[in-house]
Amino acid sequence: MKATRLGAAGLVTALLGTLVAATPANATPRTTSTDTTTCTTDAATPKRQFRAMWISSVVNIDWPSKASQTSPDRVAAQQAEYRGLLDLAERLHHNAVVVQVRPTADALWPSPYEPWSEYLTGTRGQDPGWDPLAFLVDESHKRNLEFHAWFNPYRVSMPAPGGAGADLNLLAPGHPARQHPDWTFAYPPAGVAGSRLYYNPGIPEVREFVQTAMMDAVRRYDVDGVHFDDYFYPYPSGTHQVPDDATFAAHNRGFTDRADWRRDNINLLIQEMNGKIKAAKPWVKFGVSPFGIWRNKTADPLGSDTTGSQSYDIISADTRKWIKQEWIDYVVPQLYWYIGQYPAADYARLVPWWAETVRGTRVQLYIGQADYKSGDPAYGPYWQNPRELSDHLTLNRSYPEVQGNVHFSAVQVRANRLGATDIYAAEHYSRPALVPAMPHLPAKPLLFPVVTKAARQADGVRLTWRQPADGAGPLGTATSYAIYRFDGTTLPGRCDTADAAHLVDTVRATPGGTQSWVDTTAAPGQRYTYQVTALDRSANESPASPPAFSLR
């Protein structure tokens, strides 16, 4: 009978026979149960941990560089810059990138709703002659990095000089804000230093428009996540008030307290955006990176033991509610403070507060790390400690709710001031890791791969495998694969893949039935045992393949 005629259970039974047939007589047997809940694991090599860096495009912070705009071959220069950042991510065993694709009500893709971003060419609205977002997603996936598209919902311009400031006429021709000036306000007021334009979150048509503009990218590109930062209502500037008296009068929806109404405007944005993402692509994750303090305990008994600014009050962001209502899949609070001796916002006080806040919900917690402060004298003596960031990641281990970190930002990670990046990478990212699975996202079971060859060649050991019944019937589709390696010839047991001690790589699935990978770190003459698992696009993992052996 052909394998394709077997039912799923029958196929698994048939494939299990290869385990016996392929096992050397001297292989060391171990238990083969797949339950790893009772395994002892090494906290320094977690099997699953979200690891990423923010790649910011606004004012050319990370990518593309300002210099690339005048390069003789601008497209080639910008592509090379991005590949260089992905090289960095790979070296650090990251598994995702968070890339800003809509920095100021513009687009890094050919959007039918908004103009081309000025950060590509130096000119607002100028067609760059290529599709950057398609390239960004494709190159990330080639490295098996998740691509989280980072959008800023309401910011329309950056301050002058350099940005358009409060002048609508300096925006790109045909800009929606020029067509609908009533959709915008300037804050601080025009003529005040730092003034810029925002879309008004209180206008229903604005909320609908910005969602439509962002969803265009979600629908057209193979993004893995949608990501918002901490910009909703503008951060306060002096005593200036957000000019929304007329908007509140026209669209208050029965609210009598303006602060509650503003928070509800942002609540609606988050709730509606999540619904639209899941309706279009149920597997796409939605995350927000808020300011690190929701509320202080002195203002609200549910708040943290801090005294700093409160996002609930100053930017109308009720992040705790978004978690408790499960309107988001993950949260990345920006805990850009050091450990100890800082009562306004001590990192060691905030991590447990956020851990408790997500506890009992399906929202995953990652921590935003301030790599930009490390080694910069402007931020004081604590940030002159090269171990500060690594100490943050060590503290995180005490809270199982903390499932990863995102570093701000890419060029600061690369700068490696004080050697801080090297330190935390060696102590916490020494092995690859899978992104955390999200059980609430839709999934189908995956069959285990079958390794058909483990052959020694000049540059290492080449593994070749196939994924049976990939995506057929009730079975899931393999998006990527995890490869485990063990010294000698052995039968790996249930605990041998419980952490990343034996995880040597993850690779993206390629078109066609046969998959291949070369272990370039295999020592000549050394015997190895390999296992491969399949992962779907939500990082759900299949059982491990029958072991394959490299005997020379």
Q: Are residues 357 and 244 in the same domain?
A: yes
H or E stretch covering 102: strand 96-102
Pairing of strands 460-466, 514-519: antiparallel
356 and 464 in a single domain? The answer is no
Strands 184-187 and 50-55, bridge-based pairing: unpaired
> Is residue 241 a contact partner of residue 247, using CB atoms and an 8 Å limit?
no
Helices and strands (DSSP H and E) totals, the chain: 14, 17
Please indicate, yes or no, whether residues 397 and 466 belong to a single structural domain of this protein. Answer: no
Q: Are residues 385 and 472 in the same domain?
A: no
Output the domain CATH number for residue 495. Answer: 2.60.40.10
**In a domain? residue 188:** no
Q: Is residue 540 part of a domain?
A: yes
Look up residue 362 and give its two tokens: 């399906």
> Using an 8 Å Cβ cutoff, are 365 and 378 in contact?
no
Contact in structure between 273 and 226 (CB atoms under 8 Å): yes
In a domain, 280, yes or no: yes
- Asked if residue 4 belongs to a domain, the reply is no
Nearest alpha-carbon partner for 356 in 398, 299, 416: 398
pTM: 0.94
Q: Which of 400, 429, 458 is the C-terminal boundary of a domain?
A: 429
Which of 429, 461, 476 lies at the terminal end of a domain, its last residue? 429
Same domain flag for 413 and 524: no
Tracing tokens 């021709």 back to the chain, one arrives at 173
Beta bridge mates, 155: 198
What pLDDT, on a 0 to 100 scale, did the predictor assign at position 34? 53
Both structure tokens of 446? 């995956």
User: Measuring CA to CA, which residue among 48, 77, 49 is closest to residue 64?
Assistant: 77
* Cis previous bond, 176, omega within 30: no
Burial class (CB in 10 A: 0-12, 13-18, 19+), 77: middle
Strands (DSSP E) along 373-527, which ranges?
Answer: 402-407, 450-457, 460-466, 480-487, 503-508, 514-519
**How far is it between the farthest Cα atoms of the chain?**
82
Q: How far apart are CA 495 and CA 493, in angstroms?
A: 6
Domain-embedded: residue 195:
no
Phi, psi of 211 (to 5 degrees): -65, -40
| Chain mean position to CA 503 | 21
Euclidean distance between the first and final Cα of the chain, in Å? 35
Contacts made by residues 269-274, CB under 8 angstroms, sequence distance 24+: 269/153, 269/201, 269/207, 269/210, 269/211, 269/232, 270/228, 270/322, 270/327, 270/328, 271/325, 271/327, 272/207, 272/211, 273/211, 273/214, 273/226, 274/327, 274/328
Residues 293 and 380 placed together within one structural domain of the fold: yes
Note whether 93 and 146 are within 8 A (CB). Answer: no
The encoded tokens of residue 356 equal 């408790």
Q: What is the CATH number of the domain that holds 297?
A: 3.20.20.80
Residue 497 main-chain phi, psi, to 5 deg: -115, 20
CB burial class (10 A; 0-12, 13-18, 19+) of residue 333?
buried
Same domain, 293 and 150: yes
| CB atoms closer than 10 angstroms to residue 107 | 23
- Same domain for 368 and 494: no
189: amino acid identity, one letter? P
At which of 378, 394, 429 does a domain end? 429
511 and 392 co-located in one domain: no
pLDDT value, residue 8: 40
Give the domain range for residue 371. 50-159+205-429
Decide: 418 and 368 in contact? Cβ < 8 Å: no
Does 33 fall in a domain? no
Collapsed DSSP state (helix, strand, coil) of residue 41? coil
Provide the token pair at 25.
Answer: 């007589």
Closest CA to 403 of 439, 352, 366: 366
pLDDT in single tens digits along all 552 residues of the chain: 333 333 444 444 434 433 333 444 444 444 334 567 789 999 999 999 999 999 999 999 999 999 999 999 999 999 999 999 999 999 999 999 999 999 999 999 999 999 999 999 999 999 999 999 999 999 999 999 999 999 999 999 999 999 999 999 999 999 999 999 999 999 999 999 999 999 999 999 999 999 999 999 999 999 999 999 999 999 999 999 999 999 999 999 999 999 999 999 999 999 999 999 999 999 999 999 999 999 999 999 999 999 999 999 999 999 999 999 999 999 999 999 999 988 899 999 999 999 999 999 999 999 999 999 999 999 999 999 999 999 999 999 999 999 999 999 999 999 999 999 999 999 999 999 999 999 999 999 999 999 999 999 999 999 999 999 999 999 999 999 999 999 999 999 989 999 999 999 999 999 988 999 999 999 999 999 999 999 999 999 999 999 999 987
Residues paired with 291 in a beta bridge: 334
Q: Domain check: are 505 and 390 in the same one?
A: no
Could you tell me which residues are beta bridge partners of residue 227? 150, 287
Flag whether 193 is in a domain: no
Where are the extended beta strands (E) located within 190-336? 196-199, 225-228, 285-288, 330-331
Total domains in the chain come to 2
Residues 424, 426: Cα–Cα separation, whole Å:
5
Q: Residue 435 domain-assigned?
A: no
Q: 420-424: long-range contacts (C-beta < 8 A, 24 or more apart)?
A: 420/371, 420/374, 420/375, 420/386, 420/387, 420/388, 420/389, 420/390, 421/92, 421/371, 421/389, 423/386, 423/387, 423/389, 423/390, 424/389, 424/390, 424/393
Are 135 and 274 in the same domain? yes
Residue 35: per-residue pLDDT = 61
Report residue 392 as tokens.
């943050």
Same domain (yes/no): 287, 345: yes
| Whole-angstrom distance, CA of residue 220 vs CA of residue 101 | 13
